[in-house]
Amino acid sequence: CYLDNDMGKAVISLFDSLYYLKRRNTTIASSLIRNVCDNLVELFLSNFSRKEKLDVSTPKSELQLALEYINVHFKENLDLQTVAKYANYNPTHFSKLFHKKMGIPFNRYISSLRVNYAKRLLISTEQSISFICFECGFSSVSSFNRNFLEIMGISPSNYRAEYKE
């Protein structure tokens, strides 16, 4: 499997997500773990370099393209319309398809990627909460705190304190 630098970072982020979600035994954790595993499988399958002779006429699905795009660009100002356009979907149809296939709404998925990246930064750096908030793609500290608390069940500062002990 060949992964460029951005895809490699996305894989690391997803594995970090799995590790920390497993440690937090919450109701939402099992659902997010399943989604992160699905994303890892999609990422690996979409980047698998095959040496054996295969039918190369099979294109990637639009959802696979969207997931690749999301996993690379989640730290940017990413919205449903942009990703739907990238994947050649009507935004309303894409939203419904994404929710059906991934098990969670588009915005919730983006938030979970950002929160999982934030968890890694909270533990591995001494950067301020506000710096980490914007580094992860959140538009405000209050939005970051609200999403982090909703997904993790603990505030970012308490999460950092818990893992620094």
Say how many CA atoms lie within 13 Å of 29 toward its Cβ. 14
pLDDT band at residue 54 under the 50/70/90 scheme: very low
Average pLDDT over residues 65-69: 85
Phi, psi at 119, each rounded to 5°: -60, -45
Indicate the pLDDT class of residue 19, thresholds 50, 70 and 90. low
Measured CA to CA, the distance from residue 18 to residue 148 in angstroms comes to: 16
- 53 falls in which pLDDT band (50, 70, 90)? very low
Q: Is the pTM of this model over 0.85?
A: no
* Mean pLDDT of the 99-123 span: 89
pLDDT on residue 164:
73
**Model pLDDT, residue 92:** 95
Average pLDDT over residues 93-98: 91
- pLDDT (mean) for 117-133: 92
Residue 69: which of 85, 53, 50 has the closest Cα? 85
d(CA 149, CA 47): 33
Range list of H helices, the chain: 5-23, 27-46, 62-73, 80-86, 91-102, 106-124, 129-135, 141-152, 156-164
The answer to whether 10 and 116 are in contact (CB under 8 A) is no
